[in-house]
A and B are shown apart, each in its own frame.
Chain A
Amino acid sequence: MPLLEVQDLTVEYHTDEGRFRAVEDLSFSLEPKKTLGIVGESGCGKTTAMLALLRLLPEMGRIVGGQVLFDSVDLLRLSTAEIARYRWSRISIIFQGAMNALNPVRSVGSQIAEAILLHEVVPPNEAKQEVFRLLDLVGITEQRASQYPHQYSGGMRQRAMIAMALACHPQVVIADEPSTALDVMIQAQIMDLLQKIQKELGLSIIVVTHDLGLVAELCDDVLVMYGGRMAEVGSTEDIYNHAQHPYTRRLLEAFPDIENPRAELASIPGYPPPLNNLPPGCRFQPRCLVAQDICSLKTPPTLSVGSGHRVGCVRAAEMESRSA
């Protein structure tokens, strides 16, 4: 029984300069205690989709279709007061770029405590102890709780955000680019931390990233997005070893191979499509090497090529599986 099931999610932005369709017919599910990685280039709609799950879109965002079933409750149909109860206590989110995600004039500890006190009925003292415990979990000492965000280093702030995301014992944690903008050493730290937390607390995690290496290490399943649509979804093993979508295959090729360090890095010529001028038919068609005529006319179907492995490409069934 999936914990979270998203069906045909479609999100647009309505601005003075036109309507942008950022996410279209996105469907995926998340099982308890599993990690799902969502990969794609910048602007492919990953962050928008995540914000839409909790209805945290900015003012010009519009959710125009779909369902977000959490424990069989459609989050998109709840009232504002109802969804506020789900936020953080059931699903929490760690935003991209934690630089300004904490209020600079309040102590870090008070902001974590705020989350706890909002969703659970505990005396302030207990909340304080809980804050210390959470900070300890992510490797931040007690004394730091009363400090301000600007007194933390970048990596520490990210860890504090993680601690805060866990404050109400959520079932799902969404991590949006958790290690971008941090240096490599810290990245590794954060990744280890996420893994440790997942094992210890039995959470489900969704990691949004463009870093394929991270996904390979951390995730059970992978969803590849392109131009706002799903390109391919499946287990990590399936995606890395039996990718069917032309885009996925190109992506994997662009990734350096440790067994063949001298091989030329393949890049994908061209640019991702502008969201207000989407190509008709398949979004990837202009850059696809194996495109056919029909690809520029009709949206590709979603075909199942294995257990839990789906591909949004007309040629999915034809592709021979190749070794990575």
Chain B
Amino acid sequence: MTALLAPVSMEKGLTLRAFLRKGGGVLGLVMLSFIVSIAVFAPWIAPYDPYEIVEATTSDVLAPPSAAHLLGQDDTGKDVLSSVIYGARISLIVGFSAALIVVVVGTIVGMVSGYAGGWVDMVLMRITDAILVVPTLPLMLVIITVAGRGITNIILVIGFLSWTYAARVVRSQVLSVKERQFVMRARAIGVGHLRIMTVHILPQVIPVIFAEGILDISYAILSEATLSFLGLGDPTLISWGSILNRAFLRGAVTRGAWWFLIPPGLALAWVTLSLNFIGNALQELINPRLQTHHLFDERKIVVMNGFLGGAAAAAPTPQPLASDMGEGR
């Protein structure tokens, strides 16, 4: 019965054309490109250098937006807009680097686990589950406190604590590919394990890990922002989280300094949203949802003239309908 509901039109697989048909994905891509450009061209776009020390007067402290400072000034008189622009660099660098670790480690663990099976799989998955279960932020906080603040530490900590979900995703994909014809045949001819993994299975895994990786970048950016906000960011670098940390601690809320508080968060939301849109579109391409279900509006079923469904009659079929043949009853 459900066969009647099977997706009839499915652009199978991950092609650029298929992706471009997804409105959400394209929007996300545009949004992401915008932010990435800002990060890349920061030195040319930012009106001031936020790393420079500024001599400020009292009127400069937490000053609202003005012509010279489009987003106002922070608690030390520095230009907020420039800080936000430069902040993009750190957030994106951390995001992409940590996500790279996640993808590499996750793929290796997932592939080994899924392909080997048996107790190797069991042990690896138990370890993965154990890491998954422990709450990530408290763990990160504790490790960074002991290991010290610094951008490398942050990237490593985020990367090596976030690969677990990716490993699971890769593993399920490997499990389903493993049973497919072409893999069985390769094994039957005696192709070596490593070759099977790299040449046969890996190509099937790549789309899945790519989609997952996009979401991991988003997660890593948020993690870095959270760590910085809570005071464990790199003290020598400006990131959106660290801007908000200072804003919050220096009483921007009570002073109502919205120009200090809103832009960094907005930028964060912009990036994560764009990545989520892209990631979601990719997920839909890889795992297309059934296009229909049973609880639609019934009225569209009946389309005869003048009745419930529609006014238009059905399009004529190629053959003449009962026009000249006598219908004997």
Contacts and interface: CB of A to CB of B under 8 A. Distances in A.
Determine direct contact between A and B, CB below 8 Å: yes
B307 interface: yes
Given A59-B296, A64-B303, A66-B304, 7 more contacts: A15-B9, A25-B322, A59-B292, A96-B1, A280-B318, A299-B320, A299-B322
7 contacts: A24-B321, A58-B5, A62-B302, A64-B313, A80-B298, A301-B327, A302-B328
A280 B325 CA distance: 14
Contact of A57 (B301, B307, B326): B301
A76 interface: yes
Contact of B301 (A55, A299, A301, A304): A55
A12 B314 contact: yes
B304 A15 contact: no
A303 interface: yes
B254 interface: no
A304 B5 contact: no
Given A77-B307, A298-B320, A62 B301 contact: yes
B4 interface: yes
Interface of B: 1-2, 4-5, 8-9, 292-294, 296, 298-304, 307-309, 313-315, 317-322, 324-329
A12 B314 CA distance: 9
A281 interface: yes
A62 B4 contact: no
A56 B3 CA distance: 15
Given A59-B296, A63-B302, A280-B318, A299 B325 contact: yes
Contact of A76 (B294, B307, B314, B317): B307
Contact of B303 (A25, A59, A63, A95): A63
Contacts of A24: 321
Interface in A12-43: 12, 15-17, 19, 21, 24-25
B4 A58 contact: yes
Nearest to B310: A62
Nearest to A84: B298
Contacts of A21: 317
Given A60-B292, A76-B304, A298-B324, A17 B8 contact: yes
A76 B327 contact: no
A97 B1 contact: yes
A77 B8 contact: no
Nearest to B314: A64
A97 B329 CA distance: 35
Contacts of B328: 301-304, 310
Interface in A296-311: 298-304, 310
A66 B327 CA distance: 15
Contacts of B300: 59, 62
A304 B325 contact: no
A298 B325 contact: yes
- Chain A CB count within 10 A is highest, among B2, B293, B300, for B300
Contacts of A281: 319
A105 to B, nearest CB: 17
A55 B298 contact: yes
A299 B319 contact: yes
B17 to A, nearest CB: 16
A281 B322 CA distance: 11
B1 A65 contact: no
A61 interface: yes
A127 B302 CA distance: 35
Contacts of A96: 1
Q: Which of B4, B8, B293, B329 has the most CB of A within 10 A?
A: B4
B307 A62 contact: no
Contacts of A76: 302, 304, 307
Nearest to A27: B329
Contacts of B5: 58-59
Interface string A266-295: 000000000000101100000000000000
* Residue among A12, A58, A79 with the highest chain B CB neighbour number at 10 A: A58
A8 to B, nearest CB: 8
A17 B325 contact: no
Contacts of A97: 1
B325 A301 contact: yes
Contacts of B292: 58-60
A15 B10 CA distance: 12
A10 B302 CA distance: 11
A58 B296 CA distance: 9
